[in-house]
Amino acid sequence: MSSVNGFASHGLPRVVVVGGGFGGLQVVRGLQGVPCRILLFDRQNHHLFQPLLYQVATAALSPADVAHPIRSIFRRQENVQVVLGEVAAVDLEARFVRVGGDTVPYDFLVLGAGATHSYFGHPEWAALAPGLKTLDDALEIRRRILLAFEEAELEEDPEARRAKLTFTVVGGGPTGVELAGAIREIAARTIPRDYRRVDTTATRVLLLEGQDRLLPAMGPAASRAASRQLQELGVEVRLGALVTGVEEEGVVVGKELIPSANVLWAAGVQASPLASTLGVRLDRQGKVLVEPDCSVPGHPEVFVIGDMAHLRDPVDGRPVPGVAPAALQMGRFVAGIIRDALARGGPSPVRRPFHYVDKGTMATVGRARAVAEVRGLTLAGFPAWLLWSTVHVAYLIGFRNRLSVLLNWAWQWLFQARGARLITGNPPLKLKRPVDW
C-alpha cells in the first residue's frame, strides 16, 4: 500500500463529490486542509475543459490540450481519493450513493454530474446527429467531418457530392456557433489545396436555431454580431428553424428536407439522469430545483451544482445559466458551507443564498473573431476574440496545456493550418475509382 495514505484516521466526516467538472473540482479544492475524507467520482480519468472541446472536434487541438488527469490535479491534496467510476443512484434517506454493485455512505454529498444535450424526445436521432460533450464525442465528430471531404473527393454524382459537402449544425448556442464557424473555415481556408477533384470552398454550412436569434443567452446586439460574422464566413444562418426530423438523407425543417450527409447536434439540455434518482422535484430539463443555497429540499447535507441544478438568482430572479463560471462559483460556495458545517460540527441554522456574479459571456466565430458581453458592454470581432482567448487560456488547468494551446493557435493563425487533422477509428472505405483514371 502507498505510504501517501491520507486516510489513517478513520471516522472523519465523509464528503462524496460526484463529477470532476468545473464545479466538482472547486468543491474539492475548497476543502483542502479541512479535516474530512473526500471521495471524488468521475466516469472519466480526466477533467475536461468543455469550452475548447469544439476545437478538438474541428482538428485544431489534441485531446491532451483540453483535458487533465484528475488524479494529478489533486496529487498533493491528501484528504481526497479520486475514483474512476459512475454513480448510478442516490439514496437520500439512507445517505449513500450506488456505484456498480456497491453502496458508498456519505455525510455530505455534492452532485455535479452535469448535463447532456437532448434530442427533444427523439433518441433515435443521436446516431445520425452526434453531440459534443466528451473527448470521444469530439473525436467522432472530427472523424465525420474529415471523412466527409474524403468521400466527396471520390463522389462522381453531383447531388451526392453536394450532400456530402453540406454540414448542418442544429442549435445556435455557443457550441453551435463555434462548430459552424470552424467547419466553414476548414473547408474554405485550411484544406482546399489538399484536394484535387472536389472544391471544398463550395462546402455548405447551415446553422439552425429554433428561436429568432443566435446565442439567446446573450443580448440582441451580440446575436446580431454573431450572425453577421458567421455570414461573412459563409455560414448560412437560419433562425426560427425547428428541426422535425433527422434522416440518413439530411435534416427536416418543418416540411423541407435539407439534403445533408453531416448533421451535428448542439441543441437542448438534459440534466444527468442521476438527478431523477433523488426523488425530488425536477424542472423540464431534468434539473434539480434546489434551495437558494444549492442544497436539496429537506436535505441540508446534499448539494447539486452546475448545470444539474435549477436555481433562480436571489438578486435578479433570473435562472443561473448552465455555464462554466456559474459551476465554478457554486462549487466554491458549497465548499464554504461544508467548511462551516464541519467547523461548527453541524449544519448552520441560517445559510446565505448563492449569488451568481456574471463576469461576462462570449463565443468565438471562427478564426480571430468572436462576440463578448461584459457588464452590459458588447464587443465583436478581433477585440472580442482577444478577450475570449485570454480568458480561456487563463482558465485552462496546467501550464503545459496553456502553452500547447497558445502554440497551436499561433500556428493556425500564421499558416491557416490545423495540427490535428487525423482520422482515427477505422474509416469506412466506400471507394470509387477517379473517373479520369
Decide: helix, strand or coil at residue 194.
helix
Footprint of a copy of itself on residues 162-181 (CB under 8 A)?
none
Alpha-carbon distance 250 to 93, whole Å? 48
Residue with cell 480561456: 392
> Contacting a copy of itself (CB under 8 A), which of 116, 144, 150, 324?
150
Binding pattern to a copy of itself, positions 18-57, x when CB under 8 A?
Answer: -------------------x-x---xxxx-----------
Alpha-carbon distance 301 to 281, whole Å? 17
**Residue 2 C-beta: closest distance to a copy of itself, Å:** 5
Footprint of a copy of itself on residues 62-121 (CB under 8 A)?
62-65, 67, 69, 71-72, 75-76, 78, 81-86, 99-100, 102-105
Closest to a copy of itself by CB, 239 or 423: 423
**CB distance 60 to 145 below 8 Å:** no
Annotated catalytic residue 124: no
Q: In what order do the strands lie in the sheet with 377-380?
A: 361-364, 370-374, 377-380
Neighbours of 156 (CB within 10 A): 11
**Residue 348 C-beta: closest distance to a copy of itself, Å:** 26
**CB distance 36 to 13 below 8 Å:** yes
**Residue 267 C-beta: closest distance to a copy of itself, Å:** 23
Alpha-carbon distance 55 to 135, whole Å? 11
**CB distance 367 to 188 below 8 Å:** no
Closest to a copy of itself by CB, 45 or 277: 45
**Residue 36 C-beta: closest distance to a copy of itself, Å:** 12
Tell me which of 150, 155, 178, 209 is the catalytic residue.
Answer: 178
Footprint of a copy of itself on residues 195-214 (CB under 8 A)?
195-199
> Contacting a copy of itself (CB under 8 A), which of 36, 282, 391, 423?
423
Alpha-carbon distance 229 to 117, whole Å? 25
Q: Is residue 301 a contact point for a copy of itself (CB under 8 A)?
A: no
Q: Is residue 135 a contact point for a copy of itself (CB under 8 A)?
A: yes
> Contacting a copy of itself (CB under 8 A), which of 2, 248, 255, 349?
2
Q: Is residue 427 a contact point for a copy of itself (CB under 8 A)?
A: yes
Give the CA distances from residue 102 to residues 38, 43, 88, 301, in Å, rounded to whole numbers and listed in that order: 17, 16, 10, 21
> And the C-alpha cell for 221?
446586439
Show which residues are catalytic: 178
